[in-house]
Amino acid sequence: MQVNVRHGQAMVRGLVILVVVFVVPLIGQGQSVFREGQGMWLMFFNRTEITEKWSLHTEIQDRSYDISHKEEQLLLRGGLNYHLKPRLWLTAGYGYIESYPPEGISSPTVIEHRIWQQVLHFHTLGRLFIEHRGRLEQRFVGDRYRDRLRYRLLVNVPINKERMGPKTVFASVYDEVFFHFEDSPYDRNRLYIALGYQFTRGVNVQTGWLAQNFSGKTKGYLQLGVFANVLHSKK
């Protein structure tokens, strides 16, 4: 009985975290999100283990202004992960980003070269899988240079099983806030809600919706993400 009580307390704490971090911001953003139209992001992520301590991160994101797939941005990002501890990873990498002007606006494509460093920590709370991600970016955007700091809190909730694992249906939610090192430090906020299926330990697919608040406006994006990892360890 004591174990069940502790498990129940962990679930309650997890639900409180979900409400405070994810639901409350959604209420504030939902008033204007549908006024800006709906975009789409198609995403592919891969992590390939090299050794027990090292792995490679690669991703491709194709972002569109609307559902008809008017190109907004192409993002290619790679990095090298060092597993400092089983649940604490450090990453350094590079990103290449092409941003395209909206339809009807005569403006050149903006090229960004981005260097980034990251700390990733994950743990469980009851049946919840929780991930904390802090990222520092050095951005060379056209002829401008900017630093940016990001923090993301992600929670995965298994639906048909007690724990995340193969053949698991799960819900995924996160909130990520971005800051500049400038007079007006706030850059943007992203709120993400999705449903996913874990095929194997290394492969899952997610489809969901992201609300991005930027420049005083909030726009929604339909998302499809494929996570295909090459894992050699048995953990």
Q: Mind listing the pLDDT tens digit for each residue in 178-216?
A: 999 988 899 999 999 999 999 999 999 999 999 999 988
Give me the torsion for CA of 108, 114, 119, 120, rounded to 10°.
50
Q: Which of 24-33, 48-57, 205-214, 216-225 has the lowest mean pLDDT?
A: 24-33
The identity of residue 64, as a single letter, is S
Q: Tell me the average pLDDT across 10-24.
A: 56
Residue 166: Cβ within 10 Å count:
12
Residues 126-140: what's their mean pLDDT? 96
**2, pLDDT greater than 50:** no
Handedness of CA 11, 17, 18, 20 (dihedral sign): positive
User: Using an 8 Å Cβ cutoff, are 53 and 234 in contact?
Assistant: no
**Helix, strand, or coil here: 70?**
coil
Per-chain mean pLDDT for the chain: 87
pTM of the model: 0.85
The two beta strands, 38-49 and 217-228, are parallel
144: helix, coil or strand?
strand
